[in-house]
Structure 1
């Protein structure tokens, strides 16, 4: 008889919102295929209604919460953890340290917890002082109560060892090779630069928009993403796309094939993420064979090694590096080949899902040994 697992802290299954949701879209069916009884907790209206996106072996539970930037994660985390504690699965996989507050609910019921700690949330510019404090406290509680920790990068693992004295399992994200795809029609005529990001300051979106004003004089520019809440960055991109015929804003894309095609055919992909570990978008860009220009951070260097170009977070540097790459087809091909090869070697979904299964099984075994 297989084990049961509750997956808590994402928007649900199947959802196309972000990195955690991408992971769950791969992990939940994988575990079900390995004989696990899988339940994914989520939010109403946050998952794809298309049954083709769904594996019928994966159970889903929708709980209630408060839809707001500051309270949604905490409120949904509380209701999900409370329900899971009641159901008492063999193990809970919990995403995000904000849910550290609710781990004692699961602990009291004897449910071992494996927590993906995500990035260093309390250093993100998008959060105010209260939210940063909440995340930091959640991290301390996670360090105290979680049975096992998962970090998606070696640098994040180092921070947790240094700041909280906890060892962790290193499990990154995976990428999917989509095979050859047709280009998006409006971008098929010449090389273009692509950015895919949530519109928050730490993703270098503002600097890229300024760089795009100059790049769009010579090249097509494709932008995927939004803030989700409106605001200045959304308005700047909307205005740029409205006044420049070769600037194309796709908003939030839940069509994987279209997104993968944009990556696959891009002349350059700008990856400006600065806070966090292994970024799912970066790994997927590698799997699509994209020439990558990344903001120079310890996290991006860990993932890319020498298979991408690095730039400082200044509009002039960003524009200059991208422009030079778009003018150099030989360099673009070298980066395409090397990034794809590195992605296949280090960031496959098969390897990622297998490592999660191993961590979950180990947490169950350890808790069972402690009880007996």
Structure 2
């Protein structure tokens, strides 16, 4: 019997934004088991293919467009609610039996009790992928963080299965809420090489040998610690920072705290949208610095593990669960010493690190492997007491 899986919580297909959108696109692209039919909610304004209330097919998935009212921050909650309601209408109209709802993120957690009952009433199963620990992100105001923590608790309480993308997330959930029904399925990454011979961005900023940072421009990615640690070092290399800093007030705050503008080695170069060029920049970096502290299996770390021989990674549980012994770990107060020690690495030591990292990617983080795990989970029969 065909298993219908309704995916709620991404902006939709085709993927334009990374994160959950990339995950959903890779999930449907790498589908192996034809006994699964994917149905993907899409915000109507995010796709030329999506007309409000209508369906379209993309990579074999049935995509349904959801028109979301402009109601400010609550819009993301409204989107999930509208998407669930549209999915339930389709399930009833087409007499779909035992559907799976896969909700991405905890945003709707505050009202999930009501919708979990509706899902269970039609014989459905509720899976939740909470992503990272969103309530810890300092970009949110205190009331929002309080709501997100509450939403997380309610999602854990009402989901039939939590799918954590990192063992560190599951460890946290079990410590916080006890005996969580969960499986760990990581995020994936591609294993490809750039075919470029130069980077327009590196040429524009006249960059030779360099350390590299890539990531969202938010405090919990520890830009302050990375920049101050690098500035205190005796390295003669540049520090190339690829991030969406333009128009972000955090940039000025960081400049005032660190005075990075007085160090000619610090090069903010904006965002690089061309994935082929970004790959080239990763491949040619002397080392990649990863300061992400909040979240699960970070896509940027996986990309660096594949492309960059030497990765210097913040020593927190999430990162250790992802990278194992294939990277060099640092504590914030010792980053300068770690940076200075890298010049002593031999060619052989660098090659060994890269072989370990690429081996780990091929073993655990290919999209084929990730998507096969999800398919197995979606096809399981859950005999649950409700």
* Shorter-normalised TM range: 0.7 to 0.9
Maintained 8 Å contact 1:10/1:21:
yes
- Does residue 184 (structure 1) correspond to residue 199 (structure 2)? The answer is yes
1:91-106 superposed matches below 5 A: 91-100=100-109, 101-102=111-112, 103-104=115-116, 105-106=118-119
- Does residue 14 (structure 1) correspond to residue 17 (structure 2)? The answer is no
Please say which of residues 223-232 and 170-179 is displaced more in the overlay.
223-232
Maintained 8 Å contact 2:39/2:64:
yes
In structure 2, do the counterparts of structure 1 residues 192 and 327 end up closer, same or farther at CA, with 3 Å as the change threshold?
Answer: farther
Please say which of residues 173-182 and 148-157 is displaced more in the overlay.
173-182
Query: Is the partner of 2:85 in helix, strand or coil?
Result: helix
The TM-score with structure 1 as length reference comes to: 0.83
Please say which of residues 130-139 and 63-72 is displaced more in the overlay.
63-72
Alignment match, 1:304:
323
Please say which of residues 291-300 and 304-313 is displaced more in the overlay.
304-313
Residue ranges of structure 1 left out of the alignment (5+ in a row): none
1:84 and 1:32 map into 2 onto residues whose CA distance is: 23
2:251 and 2:44 map into 1 onto residues whose CA distance is: 27
Alignment match, 1:170:
184
Q: CA deviation at 1:115?
A: 0.9
Residue ranges of structure 2 left out of the alignment (5+ in a row): 50-56
Maintained 8 Å contact 1:30/1:353:
yes
In structure 2, do the counterparts of structure 1 residues 96 and 37 end up closer, same or farther at CA, with 3 Å as the change threshold?
Answer: same
1:1-372 superposed matches below 5 A: 2-31=2-31, 34-46=34-46, 55-65=58-68, 70-88=73-91, 90-100=99-109, 101-102=111-112, 103-104=115-116, 105-164=118-177, 165-182=179-196, 183-187=198-202, 190-211=208-229, 218-226=236-244, 230-233=248-251, 248-314=267-333, 317-325=334-342, 328=345, 330=347, 331-362=349-380, 365-366=381-382
2:303 and 2:48 map into 1 onto residues whose CA distance is: 20
1:281 and 1:87 map into 2 onto residues whose CA distance is: 36
1:251 and 1:169 map into 2 onto residues whose CA distance is: 37
Q: RMSD across aligned C-alpha pairs, in angstroms?
A: 3.4
In structure 2, do the counterparts of structure 1 residues 205 and 274 end up closer, same or farther at CA, with 3 Å as the change threshold?
Answer: same
- Structure with larger Rg: 2
Deviation digits for residues 169-224 of structure 1 (CA, Å, limit 9, x no counterpart): 11011121113532424537743211111111111123334445567972233222
1:109 and 1:7 map into 2 onto residues whose CA distance is: 16
